[in-house]
Amino acid sequence: MNPIQFVFLVFLVIPFVEIYLLLQIGGIVGVFPTIALVVLTAIIGAGLLRQQGLATWQRFQDNLAKGTLPAYEMVEGPILLVGGALLLTPGFFTDIIGFACLIPPMRKKIAQYIIEKRLVQAGMPPHQQPKA
């Protein structure tokens, strides 16, 4: 599956998943609690994004000051942006993925996967990856 097909599939499937989950949860807890949960996750996500973004920026600057390559921080920044955007998107499925992007151990695993995948594609063995 090429990237364009994948993006098309994501933009087609995710709204249906979100609508289904919103209807199911709304049927269980009610309309207003469901809306409140969606708004609450956006507020909590914005706060977490700010906190984690500043911490990542500080580690980025510290690594530059030490003269080391801030590889993880360079990858974690876009992961944080994607996580924040997903949290601002109304729905529970995107909130779960968004929160996963903001939790430091999860974000580190995602960043490590991306770095290793790109290094292997570039021809560098995975055991010679940049140090975190």
* pTM beyond cutoff 0.85: no
pLDDT given at position 11:
87
Instruction: Report how far residue 61's alpha carbon sits from residue 84's, in angstroms, rounded to the nearest whole number.
Output: 21
pLDDT at 9 over 90: no
pLDDT at 122 over 80: no
Q: Per residue, what are the HEC states of the chain?
A: CCHHHHHHHHHHHHHHHHHHHHHHHHHHHCHHHHHHHHHHHHHHHHHHHHHHHHHHHHHHHHHHHHCCCCHHHHHHHHHHHHHHHHHHCCCHHHHHHHHHHHCHHHHHHHHHHHHHHHHHHCCCCHHHCCCC
What residue type is 40 in one-letter code? L
Instruction: Report how far residue 13's alpha carbon sits from residue 92's, in angstroms, rounded to the nearest whole number.
Output: 14
Which tens digit of pLDDT belongs to each residue from 49-68? 999 999 999 999 999 999 98
Number of domains in the chain: 1
Rounded to the nearest 10 degrees, what angle do helices 92-102 and 71-88 cross at? 160
Domain range for residue 92? Answer: 3-128
